[in-house]
């Protein structure tokens, strides 16, 4: 499962570009609605648009991360400051049930269990999902403040090849 976020330029277009580009790494099985959320950490910046997608891929985790970084770069992502604003952010949240403490790709994502902007859209497309080491997404949602996670009904992401 991958999480997408953007708050610079045209965030909705960046998210759709990411969905389309990530299809190059496998099959995009599902994509959530788009949610507007307040930034977490970092400097003052605009709200984010966020979504998640389920990707069926044969790429190993590190290659998937490299692919995700290439998609970010293609969208003009510059890594100037930690948790700063960005044209596109693609995070690998889980990869099957793999648990890894590799500093270049910690799995599951170390903060996913506390982030409403990941959990809310994930619950939408995979309500029975679980986060390895943390439990079911539905249960995690009971412990996280989601008051600033607002579904944006006039923005919808399309699966690649579907209009």
What pLDDT was estimated at residue 73? 82
Nearest to 84 by CA among 111, 35, 38, 44: 44
Phi-psi region of 44 (alpha: psi -120 to 50; beta: other; left: phi over 0): beta
Q: Which residues contact 49 (CB under 8 A, 6 or more apart)?
A: 5, 6, 7, 11, 12, 15, 34, 35, 36, 152, 155
Is residue 42 domain-resident? yes
Query: What CATH number should be reported for the domain holding residue 18?
Result: 3.30.70.560
Domain interval for residue 72: 2-152
Is residue 65 domain-resident? yes
What pLDDT was estimated at residue 163? 54
Distance CA 78, CA 81 (A): 9
Is residue 137 domain-resident? yes
Note down pLDDT in tens along the chain; length 163 residues.
999 999 999 999 999 999 999 999 999 999 999 999 999 877 888 999 999 999 999 999 999 999 999 998 887 767 666 666 888 999 999 999 999 998 899 999 989 999 999 999 999 999 899 999 999 999 999 999 999 999 999 999 999 876 5
pTM of the model: 0.92
Catalytic residue among 10, 82, 86, 153: 86
Catalytic residue among 77, 82, 148, 163: 77
SS3 36: strand
User: Which pair of structure tokens corresponds to residue 71?
Assistant: 């998609």
Catalytic residue among 89, 115, 145, 153: 89
What pLDDT was estimated at residue 123? 97
Element of type H or E holding 73: helix 61-74
Distance CA 59, CA 57 (A): 5
In the annotation, is 115 catalytic? no
Is residue 132 domain-resident? yes
Is residue 81 domain-resident? yes
Is residue 159 domain-resident? no
Catalytic residue among 91, 115, 151, 153: 91
Is residue 134 domain-resident? yes
In the annotation, is 145 catalytic? no
Is residue 105 domain-resident? yes
Overall number of domains in the chain: 1
In the annotation, is 91 catalytic? yes
User: Which pair of structure tokens corresponds to residue 33?
Assistant: 């609605």
């Amino acid at each position: 499962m991958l999480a997408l976020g953007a708050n610079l330029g045209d965030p909705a277009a960046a998210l759709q570009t990411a969905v389309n580009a990530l299809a190059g790494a496998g099959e995009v099985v599902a994509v959530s609605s788009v949610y507007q959320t307040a930034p977490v950490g970092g400097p003052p910046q605009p709200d984010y648009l966020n979504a998640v997608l389920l990707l069926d891929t044969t790429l190993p985790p590190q290659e998937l991360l490299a692919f995700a970084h290439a998609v970010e770069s293609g969208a003009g992502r510059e890594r100037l400051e930690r948790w700063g604003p960005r044209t596109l952010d693609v995070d690998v949240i889980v990869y099957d049930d793999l648990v890894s403490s590799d500093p270049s790709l910690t799995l599951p994502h170390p903060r996913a269990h506390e982030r409403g902007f990941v959990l809310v859209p994930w619950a939408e497309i995979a309500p029975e999902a679980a986060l390895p080491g943390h439990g079911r997404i539905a249960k995690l949602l009971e412990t996280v403040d989601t008051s600033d996670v607002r579904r944006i009904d006039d923005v919808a992401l399309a699966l690649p090849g579907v209009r």
